[in-house]
């Protein structure tokens, strides 16, 4: 079980808990491959999916995971919630607490939203991605995919490439990899690097071509246009020339390496269609793992409660 009440940052789970999530997710993945995918595990629990920023993968995989564990799900989006009428975060939090929900899975463009919810709610909070801060369940599904394919992340060199400074995916993934004994490297132009990359446990390289042959995992990120007022590079064309994964660069990627992307992808910018079609690319495996990993997280945060209280 996960000891922390909330999952807001990847540091809310210990290394042992991360490996337990991966082990449980393996079981749930097998169940997801069966014709009958439903389990009674979270019967009687109510989970609110409060997505105030767009999402395809995270929101739908949480909803599927909840349904497969027999929880009752409520879905709120920005356009359908009272926040568009000016309701505050605190009033939203108190409203759901009054309804006695057990868990809120939240996404918001503000990188402190989940912490505010956690400070003002009885319900457990799971961060579905908050601003440029963190996206811990993305990290868990990425780790699942890496461990399934490589056996371990320990000792592996993982290149995280692109718009790191605006990436909540990098904000969770790099410290988790460092904690688990991997060697994360941020590969980006200086304008897309955080001020203190060491704080996230990563080294830095400005040249993709220089490090590409060393990488066990080539992890590509989208330029987060919605989080900046403009490009932080002279042009997209120049960015693609220096940091895009295309057919020419594929020749430098190791035969046993993985090519990953959290999605949504900008085809032809950070990743070309030929790279997506390459057998080393595991983007849809990441999506597939998302449902099983989120089932594991919710099971480990909610599933043991009743036995513990008995
Ligand atoms: N990776 C990810 O968070 O995708 P969505 O924005 O579609 O949820």
pLDDT in tens, 58-89: 999 999 999 999 999 999 877 777 777 788 88
Considering only the C-alpha atoms of the chain, give the largest distance between any 2 of them, rounded to a whole number of Å. 62
Q: Is 280 in the pocket of ligand 1 (CB under 6 A)?
A: no
Inter-axis angle of helices 136-150 and 15-32, to 10 degrees?
A: 70
For the Cβ of 138 lying below 6 angstroms from any atom of ligand 1, the answer is: yes
pLDDT value, residue 233: 75
Confidence check: pLDDT of 35 > 70:
yes
> Which residue among 52, 57, 226 has the greatest number of ligand 1 atoms within 8 angstroms of its CB, and so is best to mutate?
57
Mutate which of 52, 168, 170, 263 for ligand 1? The one with the most ligand atoms within 8 Å of its CB, which is: 263
Is the distance from the beta carbon of residue 57 to the nearest atom of ligand 1 less than 6 Å? yes
* Nearest atom (ligand 1) to Cα of 60: 8
- 56 alpha carbon to ligand 1 midpoint, in Å? 6
In short, whether 262's Cβ falls inside 6 Å of ligand 1 is: yes
Residue 5 CB neighbour total at 10 angstroms: 13
Give, using CA atoms, the residue closest to atom 3 of ligand 1. Answer: 58
Given CA atoms 282, 284, 287, 288 in this order, what sign does their dihedral have? negative
- Of the CA atoms within 13 Å of residue 11, those in its CB half-sphere come to 7
Using the predicted structure, report yes or no on whether residue 309 has a pLDDT greater than 60.
no
Ligand 1 neighbourhood includes 290 CB (under 6 angstroms) = no
Whole-structure pTM over 0.85, yes or no? yes
DSSP the chain: ---SS-BSSGGGS-HHHHHHHHHHHHHHHHHHTSS-----TTTT-EEEEEE-S--SHHHHHHHHHHHHTT-EEEEEETTTSGGGGT--HHHHHHHHHHTT-SEEEEEESSTTHHHHHHHH-SSEEEEEEETTTB-HHHHHHHHHHHHHHHS--TT-EEEEES--TT-HHHHHHHHHHHHTT-EEEEES-GGGS-S-GGGGT-EEES-HHHHGGG-SEEEE----GGGSSS-SSS-HHHHHHHH-B-HHHHTTS-TT-EEE--S---BTTTB-HHHHTSTTB-HHHHHHHHHHHHHHHHIIIIITHHHHH-
Query: Does any ligand 1 atom lie closer than 6 A to the CB of residue 137?
Result: no
- Whether ligand 1 lies within 6 angstroms of the CB of 226 is answered as no
Pocket test for ligand 1, best of 56, 107, 136 (most atoms within 8 A of CB): 56
Under 8 Å CB-to-CB from 114, ≥6 apart: which residues?
Answer: 6, 8, 106, 108, 125, 126, 127, 130
As a three-state string, the secondary structure of 76-97 is EECCCCHHHHCCCHHHHHHHHH
> Residue 237 — φ and ψ, nearest 5°?
-60, -45
56 lines ligand 1 (CB under 6 A): yes
Query: In this model, does residue 285 exceed pLDDT 60?
Result: yes
> Mean pLDDT in the chain?
93
pLDDT in tens, 167-177: 999 999 999 99
> 84 alpha carbon to ligand 1 midpoint, in Å?
22
CA of 169 relative to ligand 1 center, distance in Å: 10
Return the percentage of the chain with pLDDT > 70, whole number. Answer: 97
Residue whose tokens read 């463009």? 109
- Token readout for 122 is 């009885």
Quickly state the pLDDT bin for 305 (edges 50, 70, 90): low
Residue 93 bridge partners (DSSP):
none
> Is residue 264 within 6 Å of ligand 1 at its C-beta?
yes
Give dist(CA 37, CA 105) in Å, integer.
22
- Measured by CA distance, the residue closest to atom 4 of ligand 1 is 57
Give the residue carrying structure tokens 């919605």.
226
**Confidence (pLDDT) at 89:** 80
> What's the rounded Cα separation, in Å, for the pair 235 and 239?
6
């Amino acid at each position: 079980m996960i000891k922390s009440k909330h999952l807001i940052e990847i540091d809310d789970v210990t290394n042992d808990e991360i490996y337990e999530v991966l082990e449980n997710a393996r079981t749930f993945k097998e169940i997801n491959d069966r014709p009958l995918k439903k389990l009674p595990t979270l019967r009687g629990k109510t989970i609110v999916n409060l997505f105030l920023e767009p999402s395809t993968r995270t929101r739908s995989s949480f909803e599927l995971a909840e349904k497969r564990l027999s929880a009752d799900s409520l879905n709120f989006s920005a356009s359908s919630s009272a926040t568009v009428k000016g309701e505050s975060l605190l009033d939203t939090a108190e409203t759901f607490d009054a309804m006695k929900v057990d868990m809120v899975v939240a996404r918001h463009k503000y990188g402190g939203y989940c912490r505010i919810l956690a400070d003002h709610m009885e319900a457990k909070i799971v961060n579905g991605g908050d601003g440029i801060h963190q996206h811990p369940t993305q990290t868990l599904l990425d780790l699942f995919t890496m461990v399934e394919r490589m056996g371990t992340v320990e000792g592996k060199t993982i290149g995280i490439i692109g718009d790191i400074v605006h990436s909540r995916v990098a904000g969770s993934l790099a410290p988790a990899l460092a904690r688990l004994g991997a060697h994360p490297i941020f590969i980006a132009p200086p304008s897309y690097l955080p001020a203190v990359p060491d704080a996230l446990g990563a080294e830095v390289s400005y040249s993709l071509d220089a490090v590409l042959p060393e990488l066990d995992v080539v992890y590509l990120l989208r330029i987060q246009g919605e989080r900046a007022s403009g490009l932080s590079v002279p042009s997209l064309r120049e960015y693609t020339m220096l940091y895009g994964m295309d057919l020419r660069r594929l020749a430098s990627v190791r035969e046993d390496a993985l090519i990953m992307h959290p999605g949504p992808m900008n085809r032809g910018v950070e990743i070309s269609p030929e790279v997506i079609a390459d057998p080393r690319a595991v983007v849809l495996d990441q999506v597939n793992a998302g449902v099983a990993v989120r089932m594991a997280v919710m099971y480990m945060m909610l599933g043991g409660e009743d036995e513990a209280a008995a």
